[in-house]
Amino acid sequence: MGAVSRLLWAPRAWVEGAWANAVTLRAGADGCWVEVIADTACPADADVMPGAVMPAMINAHSHAFQRAFVGLSERRDSARDDFWSWRDRMYAVALRITPDQLYAVAAHLYAELLNGGYTHTCEFHYLHHAEDGQPYASHGGDDGAMSAALARAAQDTGMGLTILPVLYERAGFAQPVLREDQRRFATDVSRVLQLRDTIRAWKLPNVDAGVAIHSLRAASAVSIHELVRACASDAAPIHLHIAEQTSEVADCLAATGLRPIEWLTREVALDARWQLVHATHTTPEEIDAVAATGAGVVLCPGTEANLGDGLCDLPRWLASGTPLSLGTDSHVARTWPEELRLLEYGQRLALRQRNVSAEPSVEASTAARLVGRCLAGGAAAVGQSRWGLVAGARADLLVINDTDPALIGIPPSQLLDALVFAAPARPFALVMVAGAWRAPADTSEAFGDAMAALWPRT
């Protein structure tokens, strides 16, 4: 935890989509911005920021336990390696990790994410039961032990957190029960709602809960509709994986006669609470259908590249006005500038063009357009009505580290472009969450111990 600072002055700040000069920012006792005013003299009692400041980013999709698998799946031992073979190997972590190990892994991850410019994370949380697949209560423990480990890690590092208990009840469209190696994931609608309500009852600062559906293949239509009805009066977000893999699209077509997003937009009355994670394989008609509902899309460029998922139709998603946000997912990348760089570069490689995400009539800067869209979309992904350096939003900000070698000498007007595309090693000097500075947490030893237990040295 850092010292609380209520009055700040920055020589430059990214305010409502543009750089503003001489900005005074005042946070209230509730940890939200009271006022953000440009072109002001520095108040005598203000803390002067050592560089330009900007809003922090929301990480809209995370599986924290998978941080323990990063770097350990980059060898091929069969004729074909794809998402599904990666998943089978990833389950080796899911089947062994304990609540204490999850805490250590999550705390290390959240410290990294804070350093990478994220101040709030959505945990797409499906790892619930004991290693044998039985509820922890059957072993004399707490059924919410894994959720509690995540919440404790967030509290100890200062990360804001939205936990999304996941509906996960079958192995596939034609597999009505879970596989044995999915035994720790089993939930039904009542269990998802119970976990959500338990997390909310903790009343922890900057910790909240919504719900999630793992995917159309992992939850029946009956259960999806039941969960939707149960959440009808709840304003919290609803997330689900969708159309990440071409085989998933083919399986959905075979089972329902419709593509995944096509099925969802026909069967469910989507709204701004809904966040479609990945949405990689789409038709123009599906994109238009999603855009008409107000639902958002969570893009995870680092993970999608690492898993060989494919490239989304980013130009059409941008043109449609659909809210977009970023997720670190399996955490092969843990800074948002890197995620945006990967997002744009994938499009450039596929289309053989440059600055694909820019739109001269709207925003000529690729970085500015992507940052603006992801800041707004991230707010929707966690159910925040306001986000950024604006009165009423949570008092989160980043101080850009303009002494990083990659940023030295950059003209101020193009600092955001360089932040994304010049690849600074340490892009942010300071991070604030809810009006408090968050110093980097020392998590290395506990993380190392957890990794040693999960992956015995050979």
Please report how the helices 260-267 and 284-293 are oriented relative to each other, as an axis angle in degrees rounded to 10.
Answer: 30
What DSSP state is assigned to residue 170?
Answer: -
- Which residue out of 63, 108, 214, 278 is catalytically annotated? 278
Tell me if residue 108 is catalytic: no
| Pick from 190, 144, 195: nearest CA to 169 | 190
> For residues 259 and 251, what is the distance between their CA atoms, to the nearest angstrom?
9
281 is catalytic: no
- β-pair partners for 62: 123, 329
Coil, helix or strand at residue 93: helix
Q: Please count the other Cβ atoms lying within 10 Å of the Cβ belonging to residue 442.
A: 10
**Catalytic, out of 143, 309, 313, 329:** 329
What residues contact residue 417 under an 8 Å CB cut-off, 6+ apart? 365, 366, 367, 368
- The residue whose two tokens read 């044995």 is 180
Residues in Cβ contact with 99 at an 8 Å cutoff, skipping those fewer than 6 apart? 145, 146, 148, 149
Which one, of 57, 13, 66, lies nearest residue 373 by Cα? 57
Distances (CA, A) of 384 to 236, 270, 387: 9, 18, 7
DSSP-derived letter for residue 181 is G
Question: Which residues are tagged catalytic?
Answer: 278, 329
